[in-house]
Amino acid sequence: MKTATQDISCALGTSTGGNYLTDTVKQGIMTAAQGGEHTAAYFNNQFTVGNFINWLNSEGDSAWVMENDKDGNPVIWAAQLGAAPANNKAGRQQPKNLKGLKLEQVLATPNAISMVLRPNQNKNVISGKDQPSQFNWDGKNYNVVGSITGTLSYDQQPLWYVDVPVGVIELVPMSALAKIAWPAFVKPLLQGFWRGVKSCFSGAPKAADLADIAGDAEESGEAAAVDSEAVAEDATVSMGAGAAAFSCMLVLAAIPFIIEILSHPSYHTFKVYNLTDYDINWAPPTIDEGAMNAAPVKSRDSSDFNTVIPAQSWFSPDPDIIPPVLVVHEADFSFASASEFHGLEYAMKFTLTNPKNKDAVVATSAVVFEVPLNTPNQLNVTFSPPADLSDLFDQPRYQKTQMQVQNSGVTLTITFDYLTGQHPTPSGQNAYTYNSLVVFS
């Protein structure tokens, strides 16, 4: 008698993103944190990502390779050669597809940029040795049995990653999952994630504000859905996902494009890097002039922010990178002036909490950025912010490209790339665009 087929319900949890803190990456961040031309050079290199995404969108499915790694696990990747910025025009040279190479060769190729999507199995959970962590999606609890990681690498260096938990509905015992070969079980889930990533990338060049980012992230979750794909003789898998699974990747992908579709006279973007052992909790900005048009979000609701930038941690990434690797997390924001008659001015608060001590507050800080219409840019930073951040608008700001403050063993550095003038956008055209870093170290 044939055994009835069981459909295993799966879901993708909330994504986290960060940077592999190799010596090269750390040196790049700390050099950029010197401000001025160093910050400008750092953000100019970020144009490479936008150029790569444009190429992926133009090539479609043909840009991607699906294969098995040396352990038989599925992996999906895309790569091109010659994506480096040239004359501030985001690498207009003709890219070269690297599909003829093995993935290990691609990652060792100078001046190659790649995106690798790879599943990671939690063997101890599936075997029953460890208790699984859980997340809730669509009103149901899911046991985390692994994750899917998307890693962006450039010039032989992993730059950033997005990691998304893979959950199995708690009603399914681990013993049932253990009977299914991991590569067969996870392959349709990886393919669903890949569809979500493609949706992210196709939406990124059109995302102009928070509502667009939140909506595109939700659409990416819908694109990732899996419906009863066979994984064994008597088992199928289905998978659902929401905006939280893709919002992190979408913000990272959208930042290089936002300025291209804005008509505002001034624009400011900044990255926050957390190089500490503390979680950083950011609060929505207090705005005097301008509007925030990009920030980490968790759902279609553009005000449902992902407000935690986790502490640095050890992460077991792709087998091609020797695990474990220290990783640091980031958050990306952008602001645009509201009209041609106004500049930008806003303040944001960041609270450091200790995840190893019941999230006890370690320190509270605030940053102020001002991009006026007719005078040089100004900034300020403090570890003693007032209760009402708008009071900071009445305090001195400084026409500097870098400022630092220290508290509780943490150094907070903020920068501007330029203080005045028009500067190259990712397309190579000039605009009143400015970039900053906010680095906790």
**CATH code, 426:** 2.60.270.20
Q: Examine the fold and report which residue of 193, 226, 250 is the final residue of a domain before the chain moves on.
A: 250
Among residues 305, 303, 299, which one has the least CA distance to residue 281? 305
Give the C-alpha separation, 387 to 402, whole Å: 25
Q: Examine the fold and report which residue of 225, 250, 275 is the final residue of a domain before the chain moves on.
A: 250
Claim to verify: residue 287 and residue 208 sit in the same structural domain? no
Instruction: Give the model's pLDDT for residue 404.
Output: 97
In a domain? residue 257 = no
pLDDT by 10s per residue, the chain, length 441: 456 688 899 999 988 877 878 787 888 899 999 999 999 888 877 777 878 888 899 999 999 999 998 889 999 999 988 644 443 344 444 456 787 788 888 888 888 889 999 998 888 899 889 999 999 988 999 999 999 999 888 887 777 888 899 999 998 988 888 889 999 999 999 999 999 999 988 887 777 666 777 788 888 889 999 998 898 888 899 999 988 888 778 777 777 676 555 555 678 989 999 999 999 999 999 999 998 888 887 666 557 788 999 999 887 655 555 567 788 988 889 898 876 667 899 999 999 999 999 999 999 999 999 998 889 999 999 999 999 999 999 999 999 999 999 999 999 999 999 999 888 766 667 778 899 999 999
Other Cβ atoms closer than 10 A to 59: 15
Claim to verify: residue 287 and residue 233 sit in the same structural domain? no
Claim to verify: residue 245 and residue 366 sit in the same structural domain? no
Claim to verify: residue 302 and residue 185 sit in the same structural domain? no
Instruction: Give the model's pLDDT for residue 296.
Output: 80
In a domain? residue 187 = yes
Claim to verify: residue 151 and residue 210 sit in the same structural domain? yes
- Domain range for 84 is 7-250
Claim to verify: residue 179 and residue 295 sit in the same structural domain? no
Claim to verify: residue 71 and residue 108 sit in the same structural domain? yes
In a domain? residue 1 = no
In a domain? residue 256 = no
Question: What's this model's pTM, rounded to 2 decimal places?
Answer: 0.80
Among residues 333, 325, 350, 298, which one has the least CA distance to residue 436? 333
Claim to verify: residue 213 and residue 272 sit in the same structural domain? no
Claim to verify: residue 245 and residue 292 sit in the same structural domain? no
Q: Examine the fold and report which residue of 195, 215, 250 is the final residue of a domain before the chain moves on.
A: 250
Claim to verify: residue 30 and residue 128 sit in the same structural domain? yes
Claim to verify: residue 113 and residue 92 sit in the same structural domain? yes
Among residues 109, 130, 113, which one has the least CA distance to residue 121? 130
